[in-house]
Amino acid sequence: MAVILDGKALAKTIRQQVAAEAAALPRRPGLAVILVGEDPASQLYVRNKEKDCQQCNIQSFEHKLPADTTEETLLTLIAQLNNDPAVDGILVQLPVPPHIHEKRILRAICPDKDADAFHPENVGEMVTGNPVVWPCTPFGVMELLRAYHIPVAGKHCVVLGRSNIVGKPMALLLLRDNGTVTVCHSGTGDLAAETRRADILVSAVGKVGLVSADMVKEGAAVIDVAMNRGPDGNFCGDVDFAAVKQKAGWITPVPGGVGPMTRAILMRNVLAASKARQRLKK
Output the DSSP codes for 123-164.
HHHHHHS--SS--HHHHHHHHHHHHTT---TT-EEEEE---T
- Three-state secondary-structure class, residue 180: strand
Give the pLDDT band of residue 41 (cuts 50, 70, 90).
Answer: confident
Q: If you average pLDDT over residues 91-115, what whole number do you get?
A: 96
Q: If you average pLDDT over residues 234-248, what whole number do you get?
A: 95
> What pLDDT score was predicted for residue 282?
44
Give per-residue pLDDT as tens, 116-168: 999 999 999 999 988 899 999 999 999 999 999 999 999 999 999 999 999 99
Tell me: cis bond preceding 255? Omega within 30 of 0 counts: yes
27-110 against 136-259: fold identical: yes
**pLDDT at residue 213 tops 50:** yes
Looking at CATH, the fold of the domain delimited by 27-110 is given as: Rossmann fold (3.40.50)
Give the pLDDT band of residue 281 (cuts 50, 70, 90).
Answer: low
DSSP state of 35: E
Rounded Cα distance between 186 and 74, Å, is 34
Helices 7-23 and 40-55 cross at an angle (nearest 10°) of 50
* Known active-site residue 93: yes
Amino acid at site 44: L
**pLDDT at residue 273 tops 50:** yes
Task: Tell me how far apart the terminal alpha carbons of the chain are, to the nearest angstrom.
Answer: 53
> What pLDDT score was predicted for residue 129?
80
CA angle 117, 119, 121 (to 5 degrees): 100
> What pLDDT score was predicted for residue 74?
98
**pLDDT at residue 269 tops 80:** yes
Give the pLDDT band of residue 280 (cuts 50, 70, 90).
Answer: low
Query: Strand 235-236 relative to strand 228-229: parallel, antiparallel, unpaired?
Result: antiparallel
Query: Of 49, 155, 217, 245, which is the active-site residue?
Result: 49
What pTM, to 2 d.p., does this model score?
0.95
CATH code for residues 136-259: 3.40.50.720
Counting beta carbons within 10 angstroms of the beta carbon of residue 72, is it exposed (0 to 12), middle (13 to 18) or buried (19 or more)?
exposed
Q: Which residues contact 124 (CB under 8 A, 6 or more apart)?
A: none
How many residues in total does the chain contain?
282
Rounded Cα distance between 127 and 129, Å, is 6
Domain edges within the chain: 27-110, 136-259
Q: If you average pLDDT over residues 52-65, what whole number do you get?
A: 97
* Known active-site residue 278: no
* Known active-site residue 217: no
Query: Of 93, 113, 114, 199, which is the active-site residue?
Result: 93
Rounded Cα distance between 112 and 197, Å, is 39
Residue 225 CA neighbour count, 13 Å, CB half: 25
Query: Of 112, 114, 116, 224, which is the active-site residue?
Result: 116
